[in-house]
Structure 1
């Protein structure tokens, strides 16, 4: 790869298409455009040489969004090694940035209106009318849910809202709606307390139930993590600096009952909110404020299953290959679409967790110039409940700024900071064999992993410094 040419793409040495006659040739994207693997059709298979002499079968399982499965993308020993590193680092409770059910709302929330009893009547009325989307003079369960206090990690269904009405007695005439008088006396403190109790008693009312850790794939780190990144570069055919400038590898552990309700990994283009990863003037002292003013820009997700799950733990795409999709449909059927604890089986695409399998999909479409375009609304996905055993996954998110010049500037900055020399991949495989494979297969090492899992390890106080472009993304 040429230094100073951040948009040169990696060439895969062999591509063999199966399943479709006269399949389109696999060509690298022209300079200045992002490569995007053509899904062709569901069931289509292509065989790619992603490492010298090692072939991988990539199968299309969805067209909208383009989703691909790759069995044996990681070996058993590589999966075990990544889990072992994660346990050594220690795992924290996973968090989320926003309730996925509010993804399509524009309301400000009840938390900003709870002083209404002390405000003028015209202010009360203005706020009420803003929240009353249907303009019928009443707030229904859906409208109330959209303006609930932003209790972190809460996931409330329409059924929950009706329970809230009854438990707190705020729907005084029991008609299933809040009128203006009922809205005036609503207490945010009571609602927050009720929501917290609900989350504590019913884990399906939590958006995400898991533990996680972030692992660096920098050159100085573990050879398995470096080798995985080389494979990702070859699979995605994206510039080395683009991959290296993306987020750290996230490793996640789900225990029984663990899940992640349907959500999007990326956010739609918003000219008022720049991408987080490529913003040069990052202010670490005001991290929370910075994150609120920036957004996630994740072109690709690659998910890896690190173990076989005894029961459950599937990955669901509720909207995959739908004919159409619109905001009204999402809001109208939100309980069925987003709630994967109770509606996993209703998803249009369900991916089985198989150790070593990788699943790759595109979170964004491309615009007319071949660059990052609008969010693909069909890419809604999540993790269904684990019913027995544990589920281990890892995620690579490939970040691209929709403003091409900002992405190029960011990559040039990285070029001045990192060594872009190619690895000797044969040498790397020898190093892999010598460094960890025989150790991971050793009974003592396996016992250590099992003991660490059973101890429910939390994050160690001693940890390596993480690149700042990961801090925005604890939520996904």
Structure 2
């Protein structure tokens, strides 16, 4: 399944509906959107990861200028040729997959649907080892025991180390869970039917391929690792997401901030997505407030190539991109919106 599935209702929204949606991104409710607010809006509608230059290109394409304050009114935007904006952005994303928030292929493995005894035994063995690692009851670890297998296709770099571009796989900085203060059911209780939110107590990421240092990339980056609670406030994280450091994915560089984990075949990386519950949270499940320092990204992986005498290219280091499996441990009460503690 390809992750290029943008435009969540964009083309279907009539004028009034578009206005209503756009106002969600108008932080100060002045009826105008800044470039940063437009970036957030397009990112939400198109699952993109745009930069300021992209916004200027879009507006120029439909002859929609910013005012002297660098803003555009919602009214003017709705009156513009939004169908052309949609076509422009879709083409931009097809031509430049690096501008997608996520570019990968994935499949799901569920222990309940496996036909082979060997496959079931393997997944049950993983369950036992995870229970031992986390010290959580097996009933909590297993849940539906659904794993997501992900392949990030490689970018290309020249043999001399210079990068040649391309449409390599990646996943920009994101959370695996959402705050329990968001008043919608957990997705694992609705079989994914919206509206819902992911309620993931913990993430275990299994690396199914080897890295090769900074040459091959493919690291998992935690750009806010080590930050204080104040530095990871909702406002601070939202501001960081729109910053140049985030937009340019500089956290994937060896000199980037936070923590980078180089992929190693057979490696498991565990983190908890939520803080410990407080006295005020008792009776509301095991999910405390979201730990925003768990913001993480799947960095692009690289394959080197060498130019042949006929002008074509051949791969020379044999790395076929990045393979991982995601195993999420959900809130313990599988039957309710909020859990009621460990069974």
Fold-level match, TM-score > 0.5?
A: yes
Task: Name 2:185's counterpart in structure 1.
Answer: 274
Q: 2:174 aligns with which of 239, 263, 285?
A: 263
CA contact (8 A) 2:50 2:247 kept: no
Superposition deviation, residue 399 in structure 1: 0.6
Map 1:277-296 to 2 at 5 A: 277-279=188-190, 291-296=193-198
Match of 2:267 in 1: 357
**Post-superposition CA distance 1:419-468 (Å, at most 9, x none):** xxxxxxxxxxxxxxxxxxxxxxxxxxxxxxxxxxxxxxxxxxxxxxxxxx
Whether 1:197 aligns to 2:91 is: yes
CA distance in 2 between counterparts of 1:260 and 1:277 reads 22
TM-score by length of 2: 0.73
TM-fit CA distance, 1:221 = 5.0
Contact 2:42-2:48 at 8 Å conserved across structures: no
Query: Which residue of the partner structure matches residue 329 of structure 1?
Result: 236
Residues 326-385 of structure 1: per-residue CA shift (max 9 Å, x gap) = 333333332445446554223311111111211100001121257321111111101011
Instruction: State which of 180, 200, 204 in structure 2 corresponds to 1:302.
Output: 204
Secondary structure at the counterpart of residue 187 of structure 2 = coil
The structure number with the bigger radius of gyration is: 1
**Secondary structure of the equivalent of 1:364?**
coil
- Aligned match of 2:224 in 300, 313, 319? 319
In structure 2, what is the Cα distance between the partners aligned to 1:98 and 1:327? 26
Q: 2:39 aligns with which of 121, 135, 145?
A: 145
Residue correspondences, number: 297
- Equivalent in the alignment of 2:134: 236
Q: Which residue of structure 1 lines up, in the alignment, with residue 149 of structure 2?
A: 251
Q: Residue in 1 aligned with 2:291?
A: 376
Q: How does 1:409-428 map to 2 (within 5 A)?
A: none
**Bigger mean CA deviation after superposition, 323-332 or 305-314:** 323-332
Structure 2 alignment gaps of length 5 or more: 155-167, 304-318
When residues 357 and 275 of structure 1 are mapped into structure 2, their CA distance, relative to the original with a 3 A threshold, is same
1:366 aligns with 2:276: yes
User: Is the contact between residue 186 and residue 197 of structure 2 (CA under 8 Å) also seen in structure 1?
Assistant: yes
1:158 maps to 52
Q: CA deviation at 1:321?
A: 1.2
TM-score by length of 1: 0.54
The answer on whether the counterparts of 2:201 and 2:273 sit within 8 Å (CA) in structure 1 is yes
RMSD: 3.6
CA contact (8 A) 2:43 2:50 kept: no
C-alpha contact 2:332 2:342 (8 A) present in aligned 1: no
In 2, are the aligned partners of 1:275 and 1:401 still within 8 Å (CA)?
A: no
Q: Distance in 2 between matches of 1:326 and 1:408?
A: 25
The residue matched to 2:271 in structure 1 has which SS? strand
Contiguous gaps of at least 5 residues in structure 1: 1-91, 100-108, 283-289, 413-476
